[in-house]
Amino acid sequence: MKVLIQRVKKAAVDIEGKNYSSIEKGILALVGIEKGDTLEQVEKLARKIVNLRIFSDENDKMNRSLIDVQGEMLIVSQFTLCGDCRKGTRPSFDKSAPPDAANELYEKFIDFVNSYDIKTSTGKFAAMMEVSLINDGPVTFMLEA
């Protein structure tokens, strides 16, 4: 499992030219599910992300978590995170989980984040989406399980 997170001032998902979801201050999480990923890994990364101290305190130090700042999270499925570009010029997606398994773990990730009382919005699994954001920093981290 790979999750690319970006601290944002706001972010949104549009589908077919219409707003599907949006958030204000918080985290945009792009989630890639790989073959062999487990529910335990999903839960661990959800817990890690909501508690990761990437927001500034009164001294402008990264000391506050998403929970601390009462931020929001926009969670978007992103199977291309699992792409392997080491050989040739066309990515291989052999490591990506099959759609049914990926969607099940993606939905569980959303449930785990929601269990922390985080205001959560999502993309639409397997849809063509336009994701827009205003980076805050920019602050970007890749987490893997």
- Catalytic annotation, residues: 80
Exposed, middle or buried: residue 4 (CB in 10 Å: 0-12, 13-18, 19+)? middle
The percent of the chain in helix, strand and coil, each rounded to the nearest 5, is: 25, 40, 35
d(CA 3, CA 82): 10
> For residue 91, is the peptide bond before it cis, meaning its omega torsion is within 30 degrees of 0?
no
